[in-house]
Amino acid sequence: MNPTRQLHDLGQSLWLDNITRTLLDDGTLARYIAEYSITGLTSNPSIFDAAIGGGDAYDAAIHGKTLAGLAGEALFTELALEDLRRAADLFRPVFDATDQVDGWVSMEISPLLAADTAGSVAAARQIHEQARRANLFVKIPGTPQGVAAIEQAIFLGIPINVTLLFSCAQYQAAAEAYLRGIERRLAAGLDPRVGSVASLFISRWDVAGNAQLPADLHHKLGIAVALQTYRAYRELLASSRWLKLAAAGARPQRLLWASTGTKDPAAPDTLYVSALAAPDTIDTIPEKTLHAFADHGRLQGVMPADGGDAEAVLSQIAGAGVDVQVLAAKLQQDGALSFVKSWQQLLQRIAQKSSASALAGAPSTAAR
């Protein structure tokens, strides 16, 4: 059996950590759905920057939107949503068959809004309305300011993918925001069924930590944090607070593993996918890692609900001089800054293509 199918049968959703117009046009995404059990996907500014800058697949659309008077963020949002609507439609049968548990796509708000609670809520509402797809998550970072925006967006009925989570504590803050949003909906007599996932980033831990750790602790920090967070996730789903909400019709906010591609060439290329196999979770997987796991990936058992040896490993890591909580805050801040940089590069790239498009479409002096 295909290893990706084994993960699917285990109860873990595999979502593609990529989207390009070419993937949609040439049938590659449809093939991933059929052959690799891909049941959703995520996007971010870095992904779209690479997609738009990697060729001419978007040039005609940029030209048309420029002629229609769109520019900057408004042009990009519609450009991205064109792709995401098509992807959402491909995943709609899964969305319907799983009663809206699976089959989602995601679109990020502007990273410039990471510290702006009101602006984040307004942007989430706009993207949600403009997308016109029930199975589209709006991504809001789980920064301290973002947590308040997440609660309000959930209360407003906007499905949210909480991104840029790095620690168990950051996950728990996002989960609390989700619970409060649902509880407020119930108190207001509103439908408690609002979709959400909480995205915990994994591989960046080891990129940052390996340089400070002895060789025997390399590539263990990210997995230990994941195990610790998975335990908190299972405890939340067993809590009386959650069971009361579930009885009222609420759906759980699913835990999602992000950044699961191995960045160290000395480590196995399927390291994190194998280690993070767990039911009722999602793994967003880069294309390169997807192909690797489908080719030679192996399951190494299921993540223990009690966190396994997470605390012991984290204690060893702390003893080696790594302050996990301080590093978690830094990783979140660095991640937010990285998305801002990608966002600025993306808008600059679109502006350049728009200018080239306008020049190409302008009548020549001789013609005039």
Q: What total number of domains does the chain contain?
A: 1
Question: C-alpha distances in angstroms, 275 versus 222, 226, 269, 341?
Answer: 10, 9, 12, 31
pLDDT per position as a tens digit, 32-69: 999 999 999 999 999 999 999 888 999 999 999 999 99
For residue 365, tell me if it sits in a domain.
no
Contact 174, 142 (CB under 8 A): yes
What per-residue confidence (pLDDT) applies to 300? 86
Q: Is 65 a catalytic residue?
A: no
Query: Which regions in the chain score pLDDT beneath 50?
Result: 362-368
For residue 368, tell me if it sits in a domain.
no
Please give the residue range of the domain that contains residue 233. Answer: 3-360
For residue 247, tell me if it sits in a domain.
yes
For residue 350, tell me if it sits in a domain.
yes
As a whole number of angstroms, the longest Cα–Cα distance in the chain is: 77
Put simply, whether the predicted model's pTM sits higher than 0.75 gets the answer yes
Residue 291, burial from CB neighbour count under 10 angstroms (0-12, 13-18, 19+): middle
For residue 233, tell me if it sits in a domain.
yes
What per-residue confidence (pLDDT) applies to 356? 81
What per-residue confidence (pLDDT) applies to 361? 58
For residue 60, tell me if it sits in a domain.
yes
What per-residue confidence (pLDDT) applies to 358? 59
CB atoms within 10 A of CB 238: 10
For residue 367, tell me if it sits in a domain.
no
What per-residue confidence (pLDDT) applies to 363? 39
What per-residue confidence (pLDDT) applies to 367? 37
Question: Domain of 143: which CATH number?
Answer: 3.20.20.70
For residue 115, tell me if it sits in a domain.
yes
